[in-house]
Amino acid sequence: MDQQNKAMQRAPSISSCFPERFSGVSPRYEHEHKHEHENEHEKQQHHQQRPMKGTVNPLYPLPQPPPPFKAPVDKHLIVEETIQPHHAPPSSSSASPPHHHVPPAGSRPNGAAAPEKPVDQPVSIPLPPIPSFPCFGNYGKNTATSTRLYTPLYNAAMKGDWESAEKFLRSHPGAINVRITKKMDTVLHIAAGAKHTKFVEEVVKMMSPADLALRNKSNHTALCFAAASGVAKIAETMVNKNRDLPGMRGNKGVTPLYIAALFGHRDMVSYLLRVTDPEHLTEDDYVTLLIATINTDMFDVALTILWTKPELATLRDHDGMTALHILAQKPSAFASTSSLESWQRILYALICVKEKYEVGFPSGLVMSDISQTKRVSLYLLEKLWSAAKLIVPGIRGVHEKKTMHLQVLQLVKLLCEQISSLEDSKIADLLTHPSQPLLIAAGFGIVELVTELVRSNPDLIWTVDEQSHNIFHVAVMYRREKIFDLIHDLGAHKDMITTYKDPDNNHNLLHLAGKLAPLDQLNSVSGAALQMQRELLWFKEVEKTVHTLSKQMRDKSGRTPRMLFTEEHRALVKEGEDWMKSTASSCMLVATLITTVMFAAIFTVPGGTNNNSGVPILLESTAFITFAIADAFALFSSVTSILMFLSILTSRYAEEDFLESLPKRLIIGLTTLFLSIASMLIAFSATIFIVFGSHLAWILVPVALASCIPITLFAFLHFPLLNDMLCSSHGNGIFTREATMTLCS
């Protein structure tokens, strides 16, 4: 399953979209401005005198270049920033280097006449000059000074302190659209990333639409920062003033919509889906968006995208991955691989969820065709359910989990329908490169994905990897019983599919069952003894399934499956023996103490005895009868527990003993120990009632409550262990032989 590990490494990287937050300088920025470092001699000649004017493109802002360089001109928008020049202090002509005349923007060197202005050249829009300080976005000698100058504005934006920011902006006119950090962020970038909605609203009021399009060093607009923050109100404030913002791409060409999906902000994605012009999104954008929503568990959004553009189901991203490949790596999104507590399983079965999910999208929404009366009923039911989720703890989490499971199942069905409509050659290519999603899903135990794929393409049941392993070989290797149960749907094909062998080691299906399970599967069962029992259950189940000849087949090392099992599990048998002995010793000590106390208590009965006959004085009392019965039951239970734990200590600890003999003894020993503890507490409570009941009746309530504490603790701490042993030791154990999902539709 090396394909699993390689595929898991292809998840999208947030740091690649925001390099200024994770590294020093953007690679794109270095590439676009590498010419600024090529002529060091000219930079030294002109560092004391700055140009009077510089043309800056607000969509791709650049640091102030040396005089020979002319900034690129955007045909759609040109903004001139007026900057106060720096004057060098006077010095002697002999000591100072000669000052070169800096030509204004648009002039030609060597006195050549400038060409005539083309007719279609856009008109420059002058911005108000900044009278008292240089624009920090234009790097120069005074960078440190500018940093200190804008620190109050930066701190105010980070804290959301609009009063301080407004005071600063009044004293520094024009600072609203100045880059105030070394990353060339404006105050809007900072406030949007800090999630200060009111602050952003005030800043946007002071900005022009062109100011909202200003970019930082990594080519991100403030909307990209808002998308990463996840506050939809901030994005709405910006887009209402500049409708072109959703289509302006950031670093590496990513859209704000993709950034929001990458960070998993469902509300932001829903809003940006509505306001982003579909003409600004390419096919690659939709594919990466679909995969990003699946990676961040926004399956409702992924469903909406697929309903609108079903052709995306078969398209790949830049890593060659499809939506199906990503889903095959997410076992946590499926019901078959989710672990729920007992009370959560009950809630899960009772909860009902909607079958359609609506997310904002420009067009093509899927709506349920239901009557108005039913809509009103569903609305009222939804309100009642929302109130219940707030009142009863735990309901919300279970409801969200079941909703996610239903969404994922619908998503899998849509993907399989689209894949099955392709030609056979394209299906084979899609399901084998760069990895095999069917085998990956089988390795994770995702029975829903495996069954849907096989139902839509029955020939996939014969799919194998480089070692000739099919889905059932993978299920045995990774101990996925729900996948292995599907083998009983194959009928006569079962005998053929179980004969596949690994060409490298000549291992058949039973050899794979003889190998030690992966560590994560072993640790899912508590205790080495129960782990050994689980391994024996797997070996016995596979042994019943394979052909008789497979049981005696030898691998290239000359080992039969049983020999391989013994060799692989030798250490686990030793660990299981130690675990059983330590558990039995500890429990037997407690049982012995209970036996001693209960035996002595019957001869010192509460209330005393008649001196002549020796009969207890309170023999006719109900409380005394309760004490006597509880004492006797505790004594007999503790003695039984001692005998069971003693038999465990004297066992021979063969491999087969871990299958039934030892677990059953441990079950009986723990159960009788629990009953003896409960009976002992009942006897104690009855004694308290006999002694104090007639005078201090109020003391009975706290005593009764206190006696329930150890019983409850013992039950909660040992019930999971008992439940695991009971499930594994009786019936078919972990195998049902009747799969909850079948390969036949």
Do 608 and 669 reside in the same domain of the chain?
yes
Do 694 and 597 reside in the same domain of the chain?
yes
Domain assignment of residue 640, yes or no: yes
Domain assignment of residue 502, yes or no: yes
Beta bridge partners of 444: none
Instruction: Please state the domain count of the chain.
Output: 2
Domain assignment of residue 657, yes or no: yes
Instruction: Find the mean pLDDT for residues 344-357.
Output: 72
Domain assignment of residue 406, yes or no: no
Q: Is the preceding peptide bond at 128 cis, omega within 30 degrees of 0? A: no
pTM flag (> 0.85): no
Neighbours of 307 (CB within 10 A): 18
Do 598 and 713 reside in the same domain of the chain?
yes
Neighbours of 317 (CB within 10 A): 19
Q: What is the pLDDT of residues 265-320, one digit of tens each?
A: 999 999 999 999 999 999 999 999 999 999 999 999 999 999 999 999 999 999 99
Tell how far CA 101 is from the center of its chain. 60
Domain assignment of residue 485, yes or no: yes
Which of the two residues, 435 and 604, has the higher pLDDT score? 435
Q: Which segment, 174-183, 189-198, 335-344, 717-726, is predicted with the most confidence on average?
A: 189-198
Domain assignment of residue 683, yes or no: yes
Q: Measuring CA to CA, how many Å separate 570 from each of 517, 528, 539, 663?
A: 13, 12, 15, 19
Rounded to 5 degrees, φ, ψ at 54 are: -145, 135
Report the distance separating Cα 142 and Cα 10, nearest Å. 43
Name residues whose C-beta falls within 8 Å of residue 675's C-beta, 6 or more positions apart in sequence: 633, 634, 637
Q: What is the pLDDT of residues 161-215, one digit of tens each?
A: 999 999 999 998 888 989 889 899 999 999 999 999 999 999 999 999 999 999 9
Report the distance separating Cα 698 and Cα 684, nearest Å. 17
Of the three residues 536, 568, 600, the one that is the final residue of a domain is: 568
Instruction: Find the mean pLDDT for residues 120-147.
Output: 39
**Run of H or E residues at 81:** strand 79-82
Do 723 and 603 reside in the same domain of the chain?
yes
Rounded to 5 degrees, φ, ψ at 278 are: -55, -25
**Which of the four pLDDT bands, split at 50, 70 and 90, describes residue 356?**
low
pLDDT at position 80: 32
Instruction: Find the mean pLDDT for residues 261-268.
Output: 95
Do 677 and 554 reside in the same domain of the chain?
no
Q: Measuring CA to CA, how many Å separate 383 from each of 352, 377, 400, 464, 715?
A: 14, 10, 16, 50, 38
Q: Measuring CA to CA, how many Å separate 615 from each of 537, 548, 604, 612, 621?
A: 56, 70, 12, 8, 13
Q: Position of tokens 């189940």?
A: 541
Do 470 and 528 reside in the same domain of the chain?
yes
Report the distance separating Cα 156 and Cα 641, nearest Å. 70
Beta bridge partners of 80: 55, 126
**Run of H or E residues at 648:** helix 622-649
Do 561 and 654 reside in the same domain of the chain?
no
Q: Poorest-confidence range of 49-63, 438-452, 469-483?
A: 49-63
Q: What is the mean pLDDT of the chain?
A: 78
pLDDT at position 209: 94
Domain assignment of residue 470, yes or no: yes
Residues of the chain above pLDDT 90, percent:
51
Instruction: Find the mean pLDDT for residues 681-698.
Output: 79
Do 530 and 481 reside in the same domain of the chain?
yes
Q: Poorest-confidence range of 137-141, 438-442, 455-459?
A: 137-141
Do 607 and 673 reside in the same domain of the chain?
yes
Domain assignment of residue 191, yes or no: no
Give the side-chain half-sphere CA count within 13 A for 591. 26
The boundaries of the domain holding residue 691 are 589-729
CATH number at 516 reads: 1.25.40
Which of the two residues, 452 and 98, has the higher pLDDT score? 452
Helices (H), 351-464: 372-391, 395-420, 424-430, 437-444, 447-456
pLDDT at position 687: 83
Q: CA 390, 391, 395 angle in degrees (round to 5)?
A: 65
3 state DSSP class of 80: strand
